[in-house]
Chain A
Amino acid sequence: MTGGRVAVLSSAQTELRPAWSGAQHIDLISAVVGAVFKGTGLTLDDVDFIIDSGSDVLDGRSISNCGFLGAMGAHHKEESRVEEDGLWAATYGTAKIAAGGASVGLIIAYSKPSESDVGAFYRSQCEPFYQRPVGFDHDAASGLQAQRYLAQHRLRPDDLAQLVAARWSDAAARGRVSVAAAPTAAQVLASPNAAAPLTRLMLARPVDGAVAVLLGDAEVARRAARTPVWITGTGHAMDTHAFAARQAGTLQACEAAARAAIARAGWRSVRPSLVEVSASSAVTELMVLEAAGLAAPGNALRLCDRDSPVAVNRSGGALPADPIMATGLVRLAEAARQLSHPGDYGLPASQATALAHGAGGVGMQSHCVMTLEV
């Protein structure tokens, strides 16, 4: 990557909960902004700019960043709202620091899906004349993707249930996601059909939460981070809006995004030791892993075994906890933490490379990938 090097200095996250019913958006945001500097020796005064991700439709407010600027610590600073998943905001922040002229950037993403109707949020992205009236929506896309993937690779819903249970169990163990009782594979299979053949628990669970990531240039990283996590590659790509026109059985935009990030990182035959990927369902999680080049088509399930050479979604990933608009930034925070504190995740100390992924849109239309190294 040309330009100056950029590192993740630190991150902070609220607990991800089905409903933060005792808090407003600004409370979640100001909590993570207050906590993100811990251990860095930096303060808000050192921050040159803020890039934030949120959704007017989820927030119920137009120009919603406008009402949250104080909580974001953005007063009299340069600020920009990316109305897309927070990993895109982090990509923007990375470019800004690499360009010179700014040394420290604060990236914030948040949402409170509990305050509105997540179905309506996704439906509002669908084409208004052809898709919305007939009921095509995000869940339909998940169901159609799953039907195709399972048929193509001769898999059954039972195969997915184990994966989902493992994700919930990991999320419960990490302590950053509110999990009443992690479901067993049988319970995953028995949950009501939501997008046949997928059951409700096979779809990502929307949660409320906020996350902040502090980015810095090389000089700041030397001072502020015990283990700077270098962002060595970024890439993003958007597929066609027409779901039916996307190449079936693949996530081409994810392939393009991963290819771009990996090329920028110069990873010719490097495979990341760990990955944190987003997903709309258990099936798309597998499709993302394959699109990122980590497994051959149909083989991603094997990659998710505990003894595979790649640690996948040790945070639990998006299935137990999908803070819409923030999920990819949480993946970045989690991947960075696994690189700098592998012991906390039961990982061996030699983790050197990671891949973080975020997505947006109905049926995961757009994808963003970052490569990280320590």
Chain B
Amino acid sequence: MSRHVAIVGVGQTHHARRRTDVSQAGLVREAVDRALADAALSIDEIDSIVVASGPVLFAAVNQPEKWVVDAVGARCKPVVRVTSGGGTGLAGALAGYYQIAGGQAERVLVVAYDKLSEGALQYSISTLYDPFWGREFAVGIMGFSAAYWRARMDVLGHTEEAAAMVAVKNRRNAISNPYAHVKQEVTVEQVMQSKPLAWPIKLLDVPPISDGAAAVVLSCEKLAARSTSRPAWIRGMGYFCEADNAASRSMLVSEPLAIAARRVYRSAGITNPRRQFDVVEVQEPYTCFELSYYESLGLCAPGEAAALIKSGATLPDGDIPVNPSGGCAGANPIGAAGLIRLIEAAAQVMGKAAGIQIPNARLALAQSGGGWANLRGVAVVSA
């Protein structure tokens, strides 16, 4: 990749189940103010803005970047919105990355958000499906996610207990995350006893619904030092997909995630992800996904994810901490979640992951995705 790009400032709102004190625009402004302050820049010094938010039916404002532009203070600047279901936040960062790498800008502000409390989430998600074929029987993201998990249970040993351990880990980690709003320790037994919503997915396997925004300032190499002496360099980022109506679409492995990881690992010089990464942040819409990501990201072999979580290796003091921020379990404003994962990974290598810092973290991996689990991406950042 020709021009080097770094994350030089990050900001998040304190995510909440429901913010009644700000509109969507106000939520965006909060995250933008924090990221700009972190980068020691004003909006005037930003060349371009990328807005990333989830499906517009979530919050009843179509093309919301056109509404929030005023809140960002970006009048007559380049502003564009990128969207990709759950992977929106990472897709937004990718667009911003290319604006700099491709020479169209030197500093880009990427802001991602969702205000999920505004709408009927499941209903809007149901429109993901073909109105002719599948919409009437589908159950949002939860239905197929649960069903694919059920299929993986038999073949890969992704048991309910292993997924429950993900919930225990992430919910405990979230307690130390200043931006998370669900701070509630649980035990494996409590997860196993929690109400099945779409079995095998149970209540405590499910992240919260949140209002939240997150923003990053991306900078070209030349200007990075004006903002920070410890930028997070983007070593690779990619976002791939697979067609949904494809014969024998795998439920066992995420092929677009595996492709993205392969490509990004190649550009970033990663040959042994388990050993090389100091920390990993993944976007787990349900606990079962984290197990699947361990395998698709090459942190362990297929079928070994349950053993990996049981070994404790993915705990904050393990050799491959995954989601020290708590992942989606602590806060899940869907359109922002992918950018939050990138921010948490960047904050680790910048040494500013307050409360959840993995000591000496220098190389981090972030993962995000959306749709029918058929849009998947990763990013590698380093000190």
The number of chain A residues with a CB under 8 A from chain B is: 62
B362 within 8 A of A: no
Q: Is the CB of B240 within 8 A of A3?
A: no
Chain A: CB-nearest residue to B102: A95
A360 to B241, CA, bound (A): 27
Partner of B84 from the list A4, A81, A127, A234 (CB cut-off 8 Å) is A81
Residues of A within 8 A of B84 (CB): 63, 65, 80-81
Chain B: CB-nearest residue to A123: B62
B89 within 8 A of A: no
Partner of B244 from the list A69, A80, A239 (CB cut-off 8 Å) is A69
- Mask for A51-93, Cβ within 8 A of B = 1, else 0? 0000111001111011101100011111111111000100110
A69 to B243, CA, bound (A): 5
B142 within 8 A of A: no
Q: Is the CB of A240 within 8 A of B63?
A: no
B60 within 8 A of A: yes
Partner of B83 from the list A81, A124, A256 (CB cut-off 8 Å) is A81
Partner of B76 from the list A55, A88, A237, A361 (CB cut-off 8 Å) is A237
B78 within 8 A of A: yes
Shortest CB–CB separation between residue A95 and chain B, in angstroms? 3
Partner of B246 from the list A2, A75, A234, A241 (CB cut-off 8 Å) is A75
- Mask for B1-38, Cβ within 8 A of A = 1, else 0? 11100000000000000000000000000000000000
Chain A: CB-nearest residue to B124: A62
Interface stretch of the complex, out of B64-72, B170-178, B203-211: B64-72
Residues of A within 8 A of B1 (CB): 99-101
Shortest CB–CB separation between residue B273 and chain A, in angstroms? 20
Residues of A within 8 A of B374 (CB): 66, 69
Q: Is the CB of B103 within 8 A of A361?
A: no
Shortest CB–CB separation between residue B134 and chain A, in angstroms? 9
A14 within 8 A of B: no
Chain B: CB-nearest residue to A50: B241
Partner of B370 from the list A63, A234, A241 (CB cut-off 8 Å) is A63
B79 within 8 A of A: yes
A169 to B309, CA, bound (A): 68
Partner of B67 from the list A1, A65, A241 (CB cut-off 8 Å) is A241
Q: Is the CB of A78 within 8 A of B240?
A: yes
A60 to B267, CA, bound (A): 38
- Mask for B248-273, Cβ within 8 A of A = 1, else 0? 00000001100110000001000000
B361 within 8 A of A: no
Residues of A within 8 A of B69 (CB): 238, 240-241
A242 within 8 A of B: yes
Shortest CB–CB separation between residue B296 and chain A, in angstroms? 14
Contacts of B66-99 to chain A: CB distance below 8 A? 66-67, 69-70, 74-85, 91, 94-95, 98-99
Q: Is the CB of B99 within 8 A of A95?
A: yes
A236 to B69, CA, bound (A): 14
Residues of A within 8 A of B83 (CB): 56, 63, 81, 83
B308 within 8 A of A: no
A1 to B103, CA, bound (A): 7
Partner of B61 from the list A4, A96, A125 (CB cut-off 8 Å) is A125
Q: Is the CB of A236 within 8 A of B131?
A: no
Shortest CB–CB separation between residue B246 and chain A, in angstroms? 7
Residues of A within 8 A of B99 (CB): 92, 95
A78 to B27, CA, bound (A): 30
Q: Is the CB of B102 within 8 A of A88?
A: no
- Mask for B130-149, Cβ within 8 A of A = 1, else 0? 11000000000000000000
Chain A: CB-nearest residue to B132: A24
Residues of B within 8 A of A128 (CB): 60-61
Shortest CB–CB separation between residue A297 and chain B, in angstroms? 18
Shortest CB–CB separation between residue A171 and chain B, in angstroms? 27
Partner of A125 from the list B2, B63, B98, B371 (CB cut-off 8 Å) is B63
- Report if A61-B131 is in contact (Cβ < 8 Å); known contacts: A79-B240, A95-B104: yes
Residues of B within 8 A of A4 (CB): 2
Q: Is the CB of B128 within 8 A of A95?
A: no
Chain A: CB-nearest residue to B134: A67
Chain B: CB-nearest residue to A120: B62
A362 to B69, CA, bound (A): 14
Residues of B within 8 A of A242 (CB): 70
Shortest CB–CB separation between residue A81 and chain B, in angstroms? 6
Partner of B242 from the list A67, A76, A80, A360 (CB cut-off 8 Å) is A76
A365 within 8 A of B: yes
- Report if A56-B103 is in contact (Cβ < 8 Å); known contacts: A81-B82, A81-B84, A360-B63: no
Residues of B within 8 A of A88 (CB): 80
| A residues neighboring B (CB under 8 Å) | 1-4, 55-57, 60-63, 65-67, 69-70, 74-84, 88, 91-92, 94-101, 121, 124-125, 127-128, 234-242, 252-253, 256-257, 260, 360-362, 365-366
Q: Report, nearest first, the 5 A-B pairs whose CB atoms are least far apart.
A: A95-B102, A70-B243, A2-B103, A99-B101, A62-B55
24 A-B Cβ contacts within 8 A?
A: A2-B103, A56-B83, A61-B130, A62-B57, A62-B125, A66-B85, A66-B128, A69-B242, A74-B243, A76-B242, A77-B240, A78-B260, A80-B82, A83-B56, A88-B80, A95-B104, A97-B102, A99-B102, A100-B2, A125-B63, A236-B80, A237-B76, A239-B76, A256-B77
New contact pairs (18) apart from A75-B246, A78-B239, CB-CB < 8 Å? A4-B2, A56-B57, A60-B131, A66-B244, A67-B129, A70-B246, A76-B255, A79-B239, A79-B375, A82-B82, A92-B98, A101-B1, A125-B67, A236-B78, A241-B69, A242-B70, A252-B76, A362-B66
